[in-house]
Amino acid sequence: MPSPAWPADPASAWAESRSAPRTIARTRPVPRLDTAEDVGAHLQSAVLSTWGPPIVVLVLDLGFIWLLATHPNDVPEFFAARANPAVLWSVAVLGLVVAPVLWWLLRLGAGVQLAHECEQVMRAGVLCDVFASPLSWSSGDGETDTRILIDATVPDDRAARILAALTLCASRPGAEHAFGPEPGWTLYIAVTSAELFGDEAAGGYLVRDLSASPGEWALLIPEEEPEYPGHPFGRCRTARVTDPPLSAWDRM
């Protein structure tokens, strides 16, 4: 049975959803995430995080080389007035070496992180269809939207009822308080339909701070050691699933 402690009266929302149409629009086919290669190809690209720092180093270094070549006597203030030009050119050339090495180290770290994430996804990740939610509220960073997620493996008739119940619940006053153990607390990333409506409604999620748009897919990755016992998805990680999959170049 739904817990009476949840705001927005989820019990009545679940009861009302019984009469909702049992049809639901879901994008198919579902992306395959059977292997580490699949997961790496469909997860949102981290290109900027690996290319950004090396590009910054390279641009700054090229600017320094331009300064040395065109204004050899205009030595920047942070160098000694009589700095040896050979030393300055050595620093400039070193920068050309540092940029690709930094890129390689970032790619190596990203590869290790991706391997760990792939293992978690294949072990416990939940691939979901993304739907719009009527719930939004103002936070310190501005307006925060929520999304309704339905496990892609849930049959259409049950998924339709779960979606209807979550939509009803999210549209009611006080629904935002479901994201914390007390009103005014925003601690949870996701609240499950099983928590709101009972085990028969398992497979749905009300999620905040998700980059995926309605009609797309998202991954929910539960914590290995939940911060809030009894709420395995309370502090889960979320990821937008790209489709079609990223090319090998995009994953560089």
Give the per-residue pLDDT at 234.
Answer: 87
pLDDT more than 90, % of the chain: 29
Q: How far is CA 108 from the centre of its chain?
A: 21
CB 147 within 8 A of CB 130: yes
Say if residue 161 is exposed, middle or buried (CB neighbours under 10 Å; 0-12, 13-18, 19+): buried
Tokens 């991706």 found at:
114
Query: Is the per-residue pLDDT at 69 higher than 60?
Result: yes
Q: Are residues 114 and 203 in the same domain?
A: no
* pTM assigned to the model: 0.69
Considering the domain architecture, whether residues 133 and 111 belong to the same structural domain is answered as no
CB of 192 closer than 8 Å to CB of 233: yes
Domain end, chosen from 103, 122, 141, is at 122
Which domain range does residue 229 map to?
Answer: 10-30+126-241
- Check whether residue 78 and residue 156 sit in a common domain: no
Is 200 found in the same domain as 153?
A: yes
CB 104 within 8 A of CB 208: no
Please write the tens of the pLDDT for every residue from 211-223.
Answer: 889 999 999 988 8
Residue 1 scores a pLDDT above 60: no
**165 inside domain:** yes
Q: How far is CA 156 from CA 11, 21, 42, 235, in A?
A: 21, 11, 24, 27
Residue 54 is predicted with a pLDDT of: 87
**pLDDT for the residue numbered 87:** 77
Q: Which of 146, 167, 137, 174 is nearest to 7 (CA)?
A: 174
Q: How many whole angstroms separate alpha carbon 202 and alpha carbon 194?
A: 4
**Among 78, 99, 122, where does a domain finish?**
122
Asked if residue 247 belongs to a domain, the reply is no
Q: Which residue has the higher pLDDT, 186 or 98?
A: 98
Distance CA 141, CA 192 (A): 24
Contacts of residue 136, Cβ cutoff 8 Å, sequence gap at least 6: 143, 144, 145, 146
* Exposed / middle / buried, residue 17 (Cβ in 10 Å: 0-12, 13-18, 19+): buried
Residue 138 in this model has a pLDDT that exceeds 80: no
CA 58 to chain centre: 29
Residue 75 lies in a domain: yes
Domain boundary among 122, 141, 160: 122
Q: Residue 251: inside a domain, yes or no?
A: no
Q: Is residue 25 located within the same domain as residue 138?
A: yes
Using the predicted structure, report yes or no on whether residue 248 has a pLDDT greater than 80.
Answer: no
Please indicate, yes or no, whether residues 18 and 84 belong to a single structural domain of this protein.
no
**21, 132: one domain:** yes
Average pLDDT score over residue span 6-35: 87
Residues 114 and 161 in one domain: no
Q: pLDDT value at position 2?
A: 45
The H-or-E segment that residue 132 falls in is: strand 126-139
The Cα–Cα gap between 177 and 26 comes to 28
- One domain for residues 18 and 93: no
Listed range (126-130, 134-138, 140-144, 157-161) with the worst mean pLDDT? 140-144
pLDDT band at residue 171 using 50, 70 and 90 as cut-offs:
very high
In a domain, 214, yes or no: yes
Residues 87 and 192 in one domain: no
233 and 137, same structural domain?
yes
Structural domains of the chain, count: 2
| 76 is a domain residue | yes
* DSSP strands (E only) in the chain: 126-139, 142-151, 190-192, 204-208, 217-221, 237-241
Q: Do both 24 and 59 map to the same domain? A: no
Q: pLDDT: is 178 or 135 the higher one? A: 135
